[in-house]
Amino acid sequence: MASIRAAAKVLGVSHVALLKAAKTGSLKLNPDRTVNLETIRESEWYRNRKSRKPSGNKPEPQVDLSGVDKIDLEKRLIAERTEALRLDNEERKKNLLPADEVRGAMEAIISTTRSHLLLLPAKLAHKVSSLTDPAECQAVIDAEIKAALKALSETTFNE
């Protein structure tokens, strides 16, 4: 007894093909939705399938490599594989991050910055309205901007 997917792998067919055969009645599934490999191998469905020539498989296109420097091509392939391995290692070491993670962090930073900036007028309106000296107004505004920037610089993002 094997699962449908395991049986499909062993038999060299897709699990969808087994499911379709069961649906049409060509194969019988056990009540627990497993199959018996020997029963399938003895079935008419499997015999017919094996005798069929692969349909839809296009032959591999023939590539003319007569004018290509094969050693140079091999060197390029090795360099590509080496670079791919290097990038994989850097990503595992967390020296490189996936673009969607970076994009998410940047969106969070921009959103936090926007919130801080939009809150400044509400925070400062009352404080600045009572002041008459422009230097004092500037000092209050400057202090609030520095506090907002400090809060932003201390923001951490979870991995």
pLDDT at 101: 84
Shortest CA distance to 151 belongs to which of 129, 107, 119? 119
- Helical axes 4-11 vs 15-24, angle rounded to 10°: 110
Quote the DSSP letter at residue 97.
-
Which has more confidence, 101 or 54?
Answer: 101
- Helical axes 99-129 vs 134-153, angle rounded to 10°: 150
Report the chain's terminal Cα–Cα distance, integer Å.
44
Q: Which helix (H) or strand (E) holds 11?
A: helix 4-11
- Percent of all residues in the chain with a pLDDT value above 70, rounded to a whole number: 91
**Alpha-carbon gap, residue 127 to 129, rounded angstroms:** 6
Please give the model's pTM, rounded to 2 decimal places.
Answer: 0.40
Shortest CA distance to 102 belongs to which of 91, 89, 114? 91
**Alpha-carbon gap, residue 61 to 26, rounded angstroms:** 36
Non-local CB neighbours of 141 within 8 Å, separated by 6+ positions? 120, 124, 128
> pLDDT tens across 25-74, in order?
888 888 888 888 888 888 888 888 776 655 555 666 777 777 788 888 89
